[in-house]
Structure 1
Amino acid sequence: MPDKAAPPHHAGHRDRLRTRFATSGGDALADYELLELFLFRSIPRRDIKPIAKDLIARFGDLGGVVTAPVTALSEVKGVSEKTALDLRLLQAVSARMAREGALNRPVISSWNALISYCRTAMQHEPVEQFRVLFLDKKNRLMADEVISRGTVDQAPVYPREVVKRALAQEASAIILVHNHPSGDVTPSTADIEITKTIVAACEPFNIVVHDHLIIGRETTASFKTLGLI
């Protein structure tokens, strides 16, 4: 009888990786190994390690991978559109969990959770995104909305739209948030001017603008801390 075909070289690797995770947790695994674990179900019968390493190399880190556009993810060899959507789902779940940590809690007592949510949702976005957080009379986060998306260095913002959405949410206060894909969180002249305009537009309606946050890859800037609001 002919010899049985030799098992693929990655046979048993999945079980070993799962065992390491079960025994020591995620901190014991490299980024590409965590990515492998997630992709095992999406890509059932292939060696995932090269794909995971290629994804990290292409997009920089786990955050960069799960926030990358589906079209860009699908350009990586071995990543189908289905797999790309699975990766995007991971980012959506992470952002939802971070949001739950800040929702319906006073921002003063949950400021770190609020920053964590904003960073999870925006720090890896490839284009500028302008978001408004809506607070009730007790300064609890009620809701948030992306008001506009733009290019790598600009997102158009219309103060009337910000006020309109705040009134629709019956918000007593708001926090403005946008990201700088370049990583430099230094407020631009345009950032400062639009903030002043929004503050002025909100005043007749007794809507307080608590802060304007700029989210970068590594850091976050606060207009309030900088004395700009």
Structure 2
Amino acid sequence: MDEHGFDRKGHRERLRWRFHEAPEALPDYELLEMLLSIAIPQKDIKPLAKTLIKRFGSFADVLTASADDLKSVDGIGDVAATALKVVRESAIRLARAPIVNSVVISSWDSLLDYCHTAMATLPLEQFRLLFLDRKNVLIADELQQTGTVDHTPLYPREVVRRALALHASALIMVHNHPSGDPKPSKADIEMTRVVREALGAVGIALHDHLVVGRKGHASFKAMGLL
């Protein structure tokens, strides 16, 4: 027990047992508590876990927060912040695994899951380009730009240059809306038109442009915009 009479060891053992019995039943703050207890073994972590979720909004938002923002919370140092970022990167790689070296068009649900995991809760806009070969197999997944909360510049010439360098036959554009609403803006629609024309001039297809947000996703192709 600690100086306040709290049986930290017994509490953590009970928490581990509950996790092994039914991990999905643990509330977010307890899952976060288990994670942080590995990085911070010397103290009761429950209050800190609750503070983080209250500060950032959800378990996913805690993992998405920058290391600097995490460390601005009293009790979170370099080790704990790094542990949280490792979990986020692990989740992204786990979500990416089903689409690596696969025919993306045939793995559409997995692609959407990956895009949501990687981008839906980001505080700033990002543009990701998925380059495909002639068989629509993913050959490269690259973060192209990071912008502000409502704008990311994308330069058609750079998109074409990179596609040619990778010998890509097609690509899929993906970006997020930090507002949560995935509805394409007029600027999104115009930029997509310009990029498609630039790619078409060198024989490269633009299969789709996906916009992801907390409220779901929008597909330019499904909406008849491509």
After superposition, residues 205-220 of structure 1 pair within 5 angstroms as 205-220=202-217
2:112 aligns with one of 115, 133, 144 = 115
Give matches, 1:1-229, under 5 Å. 7-24=5-22, 26-229=23-226
> Alignment partner of 1:12: what SS?
helix
Q: Contact conserved, 2:182 with 2:215, CA < 8 A, in 1?
A: no
- Report the secondary structure of 2:65's partner residue: coil
Q: Supply the AA of the counterpart residue of 1:212.
A: H
Cα separation, 2, equivalents of 1:164 and 1:6: 63
**Unaligned 5+ runs, structure 1:** none
Matched to 2:203, the amino acid is N
Q: Is there any run of 5+ residues in structure 2 with no aligned partner, and where?
A: none
Return the letter of the residue paired with 2:82.
Answer: L
Q: How much has 1:141 moved relative to structure 2? A: 1.4
For residues 124 and 10 of structure 2, the distance between their equivalents in structure 1, rounded to whole angstroms, comes to 41
**Structure with the larger helix share:** 2
Instruction: Tell me the SS of whatever aligns to 2:143.
Output: strand
> For the residues of structure 2 that align with 1:95 and 1:142, how far apart are their CA atoms?
17
Mapped to 2, the partners of 1:163 and 1:39 lie a distance apart of: 44
Q: Distance in 2 between matches of 1:228 and 1:200?
A: 13
Amino acid at match of 2:19: F
| Aligned structure 1 segments of 4 or more residues deviating by more than 4 angstroms | none
**Residue deviations 1:168-216 (CA, integer Å, cap 9, x gap):** 1111110000000001111111100110000000012211000000010
Aligned counterparts of 1:57 and 1:18: Cα–Cα separation in 2: 23
CA deviations 1:53-76 (Å, max 9, x no partner) are 111111111110111011111111
Rounded Cα–Cα distance in structure 2 between residues aligned with 1:91 and 1:118: 13
* TM-score of the superposed pair, with normalisation by structure 2: 0.96
Query: Within 2, Cα distance between the matches of 1:142 and 1:38?
Result: 34
Provide the TM-score with structure 1 as the length reference: 0.94
**Residue type at the aligned position of 1:156:** P
The Cα of 1:125 is off from its aligned counterpart by 0.9
Distance 1:150 1:32 in 2: 31
Question: Per the alignment, in what secondary structure is the counterpart of residue 33 of structure 2?
Answer: helix
